[in-house]
Structure 1
Amino acid sequence: MTIGSDVWIGGGAIILPGVQVGDRAVIGAGSVVSRDIPAGVLAAGNPCRVIRALD
């Protein structure tokens, strides 16, 4: 698991082994992150998916 800088992770989120989270990403509470998350996005859900890009 690799987590970039300035990443926010909501409470109860589960990040599985081997997943990379890009810089400035936001992971929603209760999300199950099973795939890589690119930098600068809001991602949430089960399974976690990109909701929108952040400015």
Structure 2
Amino acid sequence: SSIINRISIGKNTTIGAGAVVTKDIPADCVVVGCPARPIKFKS
């Protein structure tokens, strides 16, 4: 995974292997892809 720039990653968030994070990620979710996108929200 790569994190680009200064961003915020929420608590209890899972970032998939190889994901490229380019913007803030909310809490309680799973993100994957290039660019990283939420695919699932945890409850």
**TM-score, normalization: structure 2?**
0.92
Partner of 2:13: 25
From 19, 28, 35, give the equivalent of 1:47.
35
- Deviating 4+ runs (over 6 angstroms): none
> Percent identity over the alignment?
37
Note the residue ranges of structure 2 that are not aligned, 5 or more in a row.
none
Note the residue ranges of structure 1 that are not aligned, 5 or more in a row.
1-12
